[in-house]
């Protein structure tokens, strides 16, 4: 019997999670609030499958079958028969808590309720439900079809059984997992990249070195595939400012205090690749 996954949010992350899961044989229901968002998500998935087919990495028949396993809906009730529910909406605690409150009422008792958050404590999200032991973090990386990592985050009350089920799901869709045993803001990966981006931005801001040279140092000195400022442009300076701000608010650790230049870039709309200008011109 095929396993059933519900993904809440058809943006870049949600549609990516739906894509790899359908390809791995899961029956997927993708939910968003508008038909337009769902159509964009499904079109993006179809285009991505086509790209894999054209490169010889996926059989055309397999792509067709995978796409057929994805249904879309604007109705949250569609989560009722899902074995795993992954929330992948905007990084705002109020929005996520509202969704989890609803999932608590709609999802079956044994369902795994997962959040794809990159920085918000899982315990805060889980507290919106009557079953915090069934809530876990499954932090996938973008673009989901290409990135192998999934960060599993244990909330204060997450059970061993829920963590094991989340790992089984993530590994079944081809991901390698790391486990975050203590629910600190930013987990492992967002803390590491935030600390690096903040320090790189400070070096750039104070004229110590150019963006290119800072990134070259990380690539050639430390073997990073991409430098921290190029990563900020790819992810979105606004997204990283938001994430570092969340971690700083929670931890009060000065190394996560975003430098003024990041705030000004966001104010000016220079947020990276999606705007055409960030630390680099695109």
144-195 per-position pLDDT tens digit: 999 999 999 999 999 999 999 999 999 999 999 999 999 998 899 999 999 9
Give 185-226 pLDDT, tens digit per residue.
889 999 999 999 999 999 999 999 999 999 999 999 999 999
Neighbours of 263 (CB within 10 A): 13
Q: Please say which residue of 149, 180, 211 terminates a domain.
A: 180
The per-residue pLDDT for 2 is 61
Q: Is residue 243 within 8 Å of 190, Cβ to Cβ?
A: yes
Q: Please say which residue of 146, 180, 214 terminates a domain.
A: 180
Structural domain contains residue 273: no
Structural domain contains residue 282: no
Q: Is residue 183 within 8 Å of 132, Cβ to Cβ?
A: no
pLDDT over 90 at 91, yes or no:
no
141 and 209 in a single domain? The answer is no
Q: pTM for this structure?
A: 0.90
Give 30-80 pLDDT, tens digit per residue.
999 999 999 999 999 999 999 999 999 999 999 999 999 999 999 999 999
Give 259-276 pLDDT, tens digit per residue.
999 999 999 999 999 999
The per-residue pLDDT for 114 is 98
**Rounded mean pLDDT of the chain?**
96
10 and 128 in a single domain? The answer is yes
The per-residue pLDDT for 220 is 98
In the numeric block, which tokens belong to residue 166? Answer: 């989340």
Q: Is residue 2 within 8 Å of 26, Cβ to Cβ?
A: yes
| Residue of 229, 237, 33, 30 lying closest to 144 (CA atoms) | 30
d(CA 140, CA 16): 9
For range 235-262, the mean pLDDT: 92
144 and 24 in a single domain? The answer is yes
Q: What angle do helix axes 228-235 and 237-251 make, rounded to 10 degrees?
A: 100
Q: Please say which residue of 145, 180, 215 terminates a domain.
A: 180
| Residue of 201, 196, 184, 200 lying closest to 119 (CA atoms) | 184
pLDDT over 60 at 82, yes or no:
yes
| Residue of 28, 35, 34, 32 lying closest to 2 (CA atoms) | 28
CA distances from 36 to 19, 33, 44, 69, 267 (A): 18, 9, 12, 20, 28
């Amino acid at each position: 019997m095929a396993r059933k996954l519900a993904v809440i949010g058809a943006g870049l992350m949600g549609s990516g999670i739906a894509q790899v899961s359908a390809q791995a044989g899961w029956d997927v229901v993708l939910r968003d609030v508008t038909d337009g968002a769902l159509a964009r998500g499904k079109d993006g998935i179809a285009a991505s499958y086509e790209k894999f087919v054209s490169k010889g990495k996926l059989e055309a028949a397999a792509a067709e079958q995978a796409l057929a396993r994805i249904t879309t809906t604007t109705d949250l009730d569609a989560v009722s028969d899902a074995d795993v529910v992954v929330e992948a909406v905007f990084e705002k605690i109020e929005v996520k808590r509202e969704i989890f409150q609803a999932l608590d009422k709609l999802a079956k008792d044994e369902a795994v309720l997962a959040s794809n958050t990159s920085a918000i404590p899982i315990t805060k999200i889980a507290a919106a439900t009557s079953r915090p032991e069934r809530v876990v973090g499954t932090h996938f990386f973008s673009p989901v079809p290409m990135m192998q990592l999934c960060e599993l985050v244990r909330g204060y009350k997450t059970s061993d059984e829920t963590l094991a089920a989340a790992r089984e799901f993530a590994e079944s869709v081809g991901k390698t997992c790391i486990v975050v045993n203590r629910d600190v803001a930013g987990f492992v990966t967002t803390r590491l990249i935030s600390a690096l981006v903040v320090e790189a931005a400070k070096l750039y801001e104070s004229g110590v070195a150019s963006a290119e040279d800072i990134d070259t140092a990380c690539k050639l000195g430390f073997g990073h595939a991409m430098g921290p400022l190029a990563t900020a442009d790819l992810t979105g300076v606004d997204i990283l400012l938001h994430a570092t701000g969340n971690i700083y608010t929670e931890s009060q650790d000065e190394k996560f205090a975003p430098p003024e230049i990041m705030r000004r870039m966001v104010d000016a709309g220079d947020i990276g690749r999606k705007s055409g200008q960030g630390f680099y011109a695109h």
